Chain A
Amino acid sequence: MAKKKLTLAQKYHIYTRGLDWEPTYVSKKDIYPYAEYEGIKIKDWNKWEDPFRMTIEAYWKYQAEKDRRFYAILDGFIQNQGHLTLSDARYLNSIKLFIQGVTPLEYMAHRGFAFVARHLPGAGPRTAAFFQSMDELRHTQIEVHAGSNFNKYYDGFHSMTHMHDRVWYLSVPKSYFDDAVTAGPFEFVTAISFSFEYALTNLLFVPFMSGAAYNGDTPTMTFGFSAQSDESRHMTLGLQVVKFLLEQHEDNVPIIQQWIDKWWWRGYRLTSLVGAMMDYMLPKRVMSWKESFELYVEDQIIEGLFRDLERYGIRPPLHMEQSIKEKEFLSHDVYWILFSFTFAAAFHSWIPTEAEMEWLAEKYPRTFNQYYRWRYEKAKEAKTPLPGDRFYYIGLPQLCQVCQIPMGFTDPDDPNNFVQRYTEYEGEIYHFCSDGCKWIFEREPEKFVQAWLPVHEIYKGNCFAEPPKGPDDVVPQVLRWYNIQTDNFDYFVSEDYKNWKEWHKDMATVLI
């Protein structure tokens, strides 16, 4: 008679706890040196269980299947000249932002979770963190492979890691993850698995990827949904770790609450880039930033998740109300910033078409026509010496010391003003885009005074390929240092647009 198969629960137990052991000649403190300094108290690591009950054999089996499906779709897309069937080449500017800004974060997440997988004393969460570390490396790979096909035909895909360490808008995602990986293991897991992956990645990997599908980009849709299916496991890890820590000791509650307060706002500011991508860069749109925020944050996170956490003494993040107030402003503010500084960016921007402005006005009836439409009307009339026959902001912006986004966020309570906050620390003044970022700075000033701010570094002379020959040579030398070549300026004067028109010249219907 054949041996009875192990149940899922038995297998999970054997492959995690069963493979762990008690050290005999080295103290646990020496093995896990980072387990205590954050102040987290754990009584019993065995209380932790992974609801996914993922084991290593199941991991290989299903992840391999996910990858096979992705590469089959990518191959089909490439063989079929799929890039020519996209809705419009403008779409790819959102994917440039993705590959430059998000993909390097996947790699940093791989490193961060490898650290956690080494340093958490419990076998269960260590196993889950190990799987997550492998997931993140795999996400980096499939995203690079999806992007490398577009790199053959379009600008902006050629230099992602080089740019990630240098270019001004990419310091926003870079600084976010640098902040996370320099925290302790418990703060890192709370920041990434819980605050980012449970509360925010849905906005990036679900409605935006649905937008990729709608615009004909099947490889991006496939890596996005595939990645988010791993995120489901990561969300579970984040939620279980947080609940576990809250149940283990009451002293953990205020520590976790502060991390949730900090990392909600950090992650939310980072995700604002997705707002601009969804509302302005997708030629065919699925839902607005505001709609996806209402569905994935207000319903699922505030009404769902945080009501579930009430019993542990956890309340919604400190600055959540501000995020809700900003939902009708955020994407417009961020796209306007990206639009204004496109002369120094590795993507193109454009004035929304009349039909697109109608869509924006319909989705944002209280803000778009009132506060934003006029800017694009003016931008059409303004002339600068730069290519594109429209407005650019020729100058360098004040950056927020914490999120590093230029300080152009509208005050929802006074929409004709931008929010400007500052604080003094050891005789220096530091500027912030919001109360959230100011609060984060004041909690850990010794950390955030060290921020590498791209604008400051340009002024300090640290960002030139060669010393500028005069004032007109400053920006060109910065762009050379960034490795930005023909990747910048308005879409309608770009190589991308020229090529797109050429490739479609024989079509009966003219695409813009």
Chain B
Amino acid sequence: MAVVETRRERFVAIDLQKTEEGYNVLQAILKDNPGTRIDEFPGYYKVKHPEKLLINRETVESFMGRPWDTQEFNLVIISYAGNFAEWDDDKILIQWDTHM
């Protein structure tokens, strides 16, 4: 008989490229989102949080040492779990349970 083992956990996540820029975005996420966990894999970081992940432009800029457009996030994201609740000039917010 098949024994079905399920290990289910609810979180939002971002899969980030393991690059210089990805690392800076990762640092900004860790600073602004207490309780964030990181899993490391070859080539990428998986960043998880039980409720939400917020990326602040200003925090990313402080790690990059240069201006950063929130649309540059397209260059470091690989994938995500959740919803983009906000994406404007100053911040990106990923969480579940958002309406359009």
Contacts and interface: CB of A to CB of B under 8 A. Distances in A.
Interface of A: 7-9, 47-49, 51-54, 58, 61-62, 65-66, 69, 202, 205-207, 209-214, 221, 225, 228-229, 231-233, 235-236, 239-240, 243-244, 247, 286-287, 294, 298-300, 302-305, 307-308, 321, 324-325, 328, 366, 412-413, 415
Contacts of B37: none
Contact of B79 (A212, A231, A247, A328): A231
The 7 closest A-B pairs by CB, nearest first: A412-B2, A213-B43, A51-B84, A300-B81, A214-B42, A303-B8, A213-B42
Contacts of A202: 15, 79
Given A325-B2, A413-B2, A206 B15 contact: yes
Contacts of A302: 8
B8 A299 contact: yes
B37 to A, nearest CB: 13
Contact of B78 (A49, A211, A225, A325): A225
B33 interface: no
Contacts of B82: 304
B12 interface: yes
B77 A232 contact: yes
Interface string B1-26: 11110111111110101000000000
A11 to B, nearest CB: 10
Interface of B: 1-4, 6-13, 15, 17, 41-44, 70-72, 74-89, 96-97, 99-100
Contacts of A233: 74
B100 A300 contact: no
B79 A52 contact: no
Contacts of B84: 51-52, 236
A176 to B, nearest CB: 21
B91 to A, nearest CB: 11
Given A308-B96, A366-B3, A298 B87 contact: no
B88 A9 contact: yes
Given A206-B44, A233-B74, A304-B96, 7 more contacts: A62-B74, A66-B74, A202-B79, A206-B15, A229-B76, A229-B77, A294-B7
